[in-house]
Amino acid sequence: MTWTYRFATLAIALLLLAGVVAVMRPRPVDVEVARVVRGPLDQKVVDTGRARIRERYTVSAPMAGTLARIELHEGDVVEPGAVLARLLPLPSPLLDARSRRVAEQRLASAMDTQRQAHATVTRAEVAADNARRELARAETLSKEGAMPPAQFDQTASDARMREAELASARFLEKVATHDIEQAKAALERFTPGAHSSEQFEITSPVHGQVLHVVHKSEGVVEPGALLIEVGDPEALELVVDVLSQDAVAVRPGMVARILHWGGDRPLAAKVRRVEPSAFTHTSPLGVEEQRVNVLLDLDGPPESWRPLGDGFAADIEITVWSRPDVLQVPTSALFRQGPGWAVFTVEGGRAEARSVEVGHRGPLQTEILSGLKPDEVVVVHPGASVRGGSRVAYR
């Protein structure tokens, strides 16, 4: 009886002890995990930009006068030589020496601009000719299989950019020539025998659309007053201001996508230029940021992006780095450990901290250069409850 009682007491004590140990033992931490995999990875710069017409011409009053009401409206199509506005000169222009000096200075400035524009056209023609020859040579090498497709695409992109620059230079030369004609006509109003009471017609130098009517109502205007803005909607570009830290990785010719612009599919584009100077921008949170404008050209037929208009907003995604096969983990699995990076791997039901060397970072995934192997399991979004040696549970 005594031994039976003792045995029963010992068994109960052991059961109580096991219960206390089970209660006191820490429960496994529920975690989300992912496997280390190999696959394609892109590093992208994503920000909000806007479309704008690259070639635009702001019409201004070449002389003081009474402006007749402008009948044109935004969106109206105008041809070269079409009358945009009419000015009735003020009385006694011969006595207005100041206005004559302004007209003379305007003519001199227009002639300087025209000479500069002509030089720019000459340089652009040489660059475009070289690009055409290089593209023809690249096409031959590509057909023979002696040039990688990526290099051919870059050569074709360079040729398109040189052609766009040439078209832009010719547009500016045409505008400068038109400005000379307008300035000469305005100066003639101050010469003896001129019909100063006749209306002075301000015409369009190019084919395009009216973008903005600055001074619609009738009234007296001074020389140089902005009246109307004309642009070519076919010459559309995109501009996105990115952080200066991101801009250092962007290069002309890089591929981009235009997202959330209102169409049913993304648009293709390529970087044309990264402006060399940054500017200070204050974010909605009041943080001052240094940003850089990146200019992009749309790649594809105009019919695909015709609904996109001047000033329209869009999300712009620039691919700055791409590889077809790299070791990678979710970016959310990484955390700082001293000066470097680390992840929690799961081995035998426990989390173990491991230092890793990271490479390029994509929107969701990050390249791993060393520290992990394929198919290893890492903890995603590790919280404060996850530590080295912690028991974890996952599905």
For the stretch 232-269, pLDDT in tens is: 877 888 999 999 999 999 988 889 999 999 888 899 99
Does residue 123 surpass a pLDDT of 80?
A: yes
φ, ψ of residue 140 to 5 degrees: the values are -65, -45
Does residue 296 surpass a pLDDT of 90?
A: yes
Residues 239 and 148 placed together within one structural domain of the fold: no
Residues 313 and 194 placed together within one structural domain of the fold: no
Residues 161 and 111 placed together within one structural domain of the fold: yes
Where residue 245 sits, what CATH number does that domain have?
A: 2.40.30.170
The span from the first CA to the last CA of the chain, in angstroms, equals: 51
Q: Where does a domain end: 301, 322, 343?
A: 322
Tell me if residue 212 falls in helix, strand or coil.
strand
How far is the CA of 263 from the CAs of 299, 302, 309, in angstroms? 15, 13, 12
Comparing 77-91, 115-129, 147-161, 210-224, the range with the smallest average pLDDT is 147-161
For the stretch 54-86, pLDDT in tens is: 878 888 887 777 888 888 888 888 888 888 888
pLDDT at 203: 83
The letter for the amino acid at 93 is P
Q: Is residue 280 a part of any domain in this protein?
A: yes
Conformational region of residue 381, where left means phi above 0, alpha means psi within -120 to 50, and beta covers everything else: left
Q: Where does a domain end: 322, 338, 363?
A: 322
Q: Is residue 206 a part of any domain in this protein?
A: yes
Residues 101 and 131 placed together within one structural domain of the fold: yes
Where residue 387 sits, what CATH number does that domain have?
A: 2.40.420.20
Site of tokens 């250069």: 369
Q: Is residue 198 a part of any domain in this protein?
A: yes
Q: Is residue 13 a part of any domain in this protein?
A: no
Residues 336 and 296 placed together within one structural domain of the fold: no
For the stretch 363-382, pLDDT in tens is: 789 999 999 999 999 999 88
Q: Where does a domain end: 211, 231, 251?
A: 231
Residue 23 or residue 6, greater confidence: 6
Site of tokens 């009401």: 69
Q: Rounding to the nearest 10 degrees, give the CA dihedral for residues 259, 260, 264, 268.
A: -20
**107-123 average pLDDT score:** 80
For the stretch 172-203, pLDDT in tens is: 777 777 777 777 776 666 665 555 556 778 88
Q: pTM higher than 0.75 for the full model?
A: no
Q: How many helices (H) and strands (E) does the chain have?
A: 5, 23
Residues 201 and 81 placed together within one structural domain of the fold: yes
Residues 254 and 216 placed together within one structural domain of the fold: no
At 192, which helix (H) or strand (E)? none
Dmax over CA atoms of the chain, in Å, equals 143
- Name residues whose C-beta falls within 8 Å of residue 66's C-beta, 6 or more positions apart in sequence: 87, 88, 89, 90, 218, 219, 220, 221
Residues 104 and 216 placed together within one structural domain of the fold: yes
Q: For the chain, what is the domain count?
A: 3
Tell me if residue 186 falls in helix, strand or coil.
helix
Q: Is residue 279 a part of any domain in this protein?
A: yes
Residues 259 and 361 placed together within one structural domain of the fold: no
Q: Is residue 6 a part of any domain in this protein?
A: no
Residues 151 and 81 placed together within one structural domain of the fold: yes
Residues 365 and 283 placed together within one structural domain of the fold: no
Average pLDDT of the chain, as a whole number: 81
Residues 221 and 252 placed together within one structural domain of the fold: no
pLDDT at 395: 63
Residue 341 and residue 355 in contact, taking contact as beta carbons nearer than 8 Å: yes
341, β-bridge pairs? 336, 356
Does residue 92 surpass a pLDDT of 70?
A: no
pLDDT at 70: 87
| Per-position DSSP letters for 116-158, written without gaps between them | HHHHHHHHHHHHHHHHHHHHHHHHHHHHTT-S-HHHHHHHHHH
Domain range enclosing 370 = 29-42+324-393
What are the structure tokens assigned to 222, written together? 């001074």
Q: Is residue 151 a part of any domain in this protein?
A: yes
Q: Is residue 337 a part of any domain in this protein?
A: yes
pLDDT at 197: 52
